[in-house]
Structure 1
Amino acid sequence: MGSEKIVIIGGVAGGASAAARARRLSEVAKIVLFERGPYISFANCGLPYHIAGDIEDRDSLLLQTPESFHSRFNVDVRVNSEVVFINRHKKTVSVLNRFDGSEYIESYDRLLLSPGAAPVILPLPGINNPLTFSLRNIPDMDNILQSIEMNKPEHATVVGGGFIGLEMAEAFHHRGIKTTLLELSDQVMAPVDPEMAAFLHQEITSQGVDLKLGVGLNSVDYRSAGNDLLLNLGDGSTMETELLIMAIGVRPEISLAREAGLDIGKLGGIVTNDLMQTSDPSIYAVGDAVEVSDLITGEPTLIPLAGPANRQGRIAADNMLGRVESYQGTQGTSICRVFDLTVAATGKSEKALKRDGLSFEKVYVHGASHASYYPGAETVSLKLLFDPSSGKILGAQALGKEGIDKRIDVLSVAIRAGMTVEQLQHLELTYAPPFGNAKDVINQAAFVATNILKGDLKSIHFNEITNLTEDRVLLDVRGPDELSECGFIPGAINIPLCQLRDRIHELPRDKEIVVYCLVGLRGYVAHRQLINQGFNSRNLLGGYKTWLLANQ
């Protein structure tokens, strides 16, 4: 099969990686790559950082040019060439040359679709105006930069609190442009749960960004006299802005596939098997446009990330050239910088587990990024989700200023390996004072989770504290100075941990004692004291810190 003619529709992550892999496997295969835009391979994840000024050289975003790709891989790259029709019976595609408007036919033996996903632009009144943009490719970035240069906006508005929305809000802030961020839901960063997103909300507002949660955009009025926009918001208010970015999400580009009669899934993506084949065995599909298997549930999912797209392109190339390689599912590992914080996640969130009807337990740990006695240690806040029967790890989320990528990468591997929280206890991670702890945050989370599974820890969560009854007592075991400085949960009594043994007689034995400290560790020590002396007790996981953020 080495002499096959492979036609690839779309470059960037999936298509370009497939073309390169196919050439490495076969020197005689004819490979033609069509890209409807002017750029074959660019770092679309880097676009907001060039707008912000972090990446100064625009050309550094261009990973390959048609000339360099042809020189290195002998791939026939045709930019500004849009495939407008697929004839499956004749195994041909119709190509529109966007330079001169002419059309021609190209044959194929194997066809790869890598069309990506397009920004979702709601058909709102007035949305089509010269000051409203989306960001998906190099021309989009250039248009935004040109608008900033020409109009010198003092205020910008970003609609959508996902990856692009957060990165664009930060980019404008770095450029000295006052920014409003609109998010229709009650939180930014949908891959994490609300109590974790609360850290981000605090960070965003502390940086001076006007964050409006639960507020959507209804319509836009372009005012040519002042060259600005009047935004009509879902809460009935209005606001003026001079630059509007629509970043509410993306949807798969499936028009070609649908017109060709390929199967489209319930989620709106191209259906593929684990070989990345579509319903037509001669046509493969990869990247943001395809539905893949969720690693945790096995159900179809849409996860538009560059890493999976690259791996899918490689697998598709192998299979188009006669090998048999399988894509083994996506777990949605992601990371984003939000000003001075980093947020990352892998596997399933609590929201997703509830939606899918799956049983789970969760723990929270707030630990140090490295040894606390070594300068520069920062807090790592980690949420770990696991199966309460088997202990299998289902997902994880982490936030902080340092070491977040390390923790989520480790947990991503643990999920891929099918590890349990009991096994996670035994991970041997690097330790030296500038880099980590003898008991890493990951180990600590595993200890807490295993204690729950073994019955050594009876837990309670922040959202259950409001259900206190006359049969419960809330016990704060922090020192009085901490209470005066940080606050406390209403209704709690205070007995510092160091005094608990001597004052334990002050607690009623006929009531449940709900114990908490700042992050949960001292609370657990107090909880075990109470349990060992015959009390009925629970420990608040994540402590006062998690409760406070979740209730702001």
Structure 2
Amino acid sequence: MTKVVIVGGVAGGMSAATRLRRLQEDAEIIIFEKGPYVSFANCGLPYYVSGEISDRDQLLVQTPESLKARFNLDVRPYHEVIAINPEMKTVTVKNNAGTLEETYDKLILSPGASPFVPPMTGLDEATNVFSLRNVPDLDAIMKQLEEKGTAETVVIGAGFIGLEMAENLHARGLKVTIVEKAPHVLPPLDEEMAAFVTQELERKGVTVITGQSATAFEEAGKKIILEDGTILKSDLTILSVGVQPETKLAKAAGLALGLRDGLKVNEHYQTSNPDIYAVGDAIIVKNQI
């Protein structure tokens, strides 16, 4: 019987686990997730801010209990893998009770990505600056919105998540300003296409500032200083300037990394160690185009 350990229980890890169960009914499959929730609806998170998704439980697609009942998966939240020993084929796991060692035949890494936070003066002292990657992040944002009487909000970064947050903060009735370092919103798009998005944002009353980045925070985050010296007031700031692969664990285990420290995998999603696979935001993939 093959024993498979999966690190990370959200989109990539849980997709791998359920697919593997369909392919191998007798495999032992253990999923370690450092956070409290598995298989939650990442893409729905911004829409809870506006109330378009009204029930928080709708974001929680599966639970460890439902996954055990349906797929016979051993899902363990609040279990953080802190080390991999490829020679011994073990992982070291930290939980509330301490640490433990778990053996594996095959290991699948799905650690995802972490928000990229550029160095900015005063950021550590800011109490109203958040990023959005998971349900605890969302809970912290909602607490700020409900308790602090938020009126003016700033979204730094006009990628997909930044624009979704801007849309939903606006739908909540808040004043929204978007700050984007690139010459236009949605930097992956051509400028001509992005112009339509900018026009729609401005038509809705959203302030769009491009070609500028935030350089400092003052007054515990209440003031944001831009490159040209412009000062923005903010009750709530969302940092959405990109992500970086979460590959410290893989790097410490000696696995090969590539562009921006993403994990290198082959066409079978194997890393440089043939018994360790990787999926999701942490890996480098070939662009088919």
Shorter-chain TM-score bucket reads over 0.9
Structure 2: distance between partners of 1:282 and 1:151: 50
1:104, CA displacement in angstroms? Answer: 0.5
Structure 2: distance between partners of 1:112 and 1:211: 41
Q: Could you list the per-position Cα deviations for residues 83-135 of structure 1 after superposition, in whole angstroms to 9, with x for gaps in the alignment?
A: 000000000000000x23x0010000000000001111112111122211000
Question: Are 2:207 and 1:214 equivalent residues in the alignment?
Answer: no
Kindly report which structure 2 residues correspond to 1:223-302, keeping only aligned pairs within 5 A, or say none: 223=220, 229-296=222-289
1:35, CA displacement in angstroms? Answer: 0.2
Structure 2: distance between partners of 1:88 and 1:106: 12
TM-score by length of 1: 0.52
* Matching residue's letter, 1:105: E
* Matching residue's letter, 2:215: N
Among 24, 40, 43, the residue aligned to 1:42 = 40
Larger Rg: 1
Runs of 4+ residues deviating >3 angstroms: none
Q: Residue in 1 aligned with 2:86? A: 88
Q: Residue in 1 aligned with 2:138? A: 141
In the alignment of these two chains, the number of paired residues is 288
Structure 1: distance between partners of 2:255 and 2:4: 18
Q: Could you list the per-position Cα deviations for residues 316-357 of structure 1 after superposition, in whole angstroms to 9, with x for gaps in the alignment?
A: xxxxxxxxxxxxxxxxxxxxxxxxxxxxxxxxxxxxxxxxxx
Q: Residue in 2 aligned with 1:335? A: none
Among 61, 65, 68, the residue aligned to 1:67 = 65
Kindly report which structure 2 residues correspond to 1:22-37, keeping only aligned pairs within 5 A, or say none: 22-37=20-35
Kindly report which structure 2 residues correspond to 1:460-539, keeping only aligned pairs within 5 A, or say none: none
* Matching residue's letter, 1:267: R
Tell me, yes or no, if the aligned pair for 2:259 and 2:284 is still in contact at 8 Å: no
1:237, CA displacement in angstroms? Answer: 1.3
Q: Residue in 2 aligned with 1:111? A: 107
* Matching residue's letter, 1:181: I
1:23, CA displacement in angstroms? Answer: 1.1
Structure 1: tracts of 5 or more residues without a match:
297-552
Structure 2: distance between partners of 1:239 and 1:201: 19
Tell me, yes or no, if the aligned pair for 2:245 and 2:260 is still in contact at 8 Å: no
Q: Could you list the per-position Cα deviations for residues 465-494 of structure 1 after superposition, in whole angstroms to 9, with x for gaps in the alignment?
A: xxxxxxxxxxxxxxxxxxxxxxxxxxxxxx
Tell me, yes or no, if the aligned pair for 2:80 and 2:93 is still in contact at 8 Å: yes
Structure 1: distance between partners of 2:259 and 2:203: 41
1:183, CA displacement in angstroms? Answer: 0.3
1:268, CA displacement in angstroms? Answer: 2.1
Sequence identity percentage: 49
Structure 2: distance between partners of 1:268 and 1:107: 26
Structure 1: distance between partners of 2:13 and 2:155: 30
Structure 1: distance between partners of 2:122 and 2:79: 31
Q: Residue in 2 aligned with 1:77? A: 75
Structure 2: distance between partners of 1:239 and 1:182: 10
1:198, CA displacement in angstroms? Answer: 0.7
SS in 2 for 1:293: coil
* Matching residue's letter, 1:175: R
* Matching residue's letter, 1:127: L
Q: Residue in 1 aligned with 2:197? A: 200
Structure 1: distance between partners of 2:230 and 2:142: 29
Tell me, yes or no, if the aligned pair for 2:4 and 2:108 is still in contact at 8 Å: yes
SS in 2 for 1:64: coil
Among 151, 172, 175, the residue aligned to 2:148 = 151
Q: Residue in 1 aligned with 2:19? A: 21
TM-score by length of 2: 0.98
SS in 2 for 1:49: helix
SS in 1 for 2:61: strand
* Matching residue's letter, 2:90: T
SS in 2 for 1:42: coil
* Matching residue's letter, 1:7: V
Q: Residue in 1 aligned with 2:172? A: 175
Structure 2: tracts of 5 or more residues without a match:
none
Q: Could you list the per-position Cα deviations for residues 6-53 of structure 1 after superposition, in whole angstroms to 9, with x for gaps in the alignment?
A: 000001111001111111122211100000000011011110011111
* Matching residue's letter, 2:234: T
**Greater relative contact order (Cα < 8 A, sep 6+):** 2
Q: Residue in 2 aligned with 1:189? A: 186
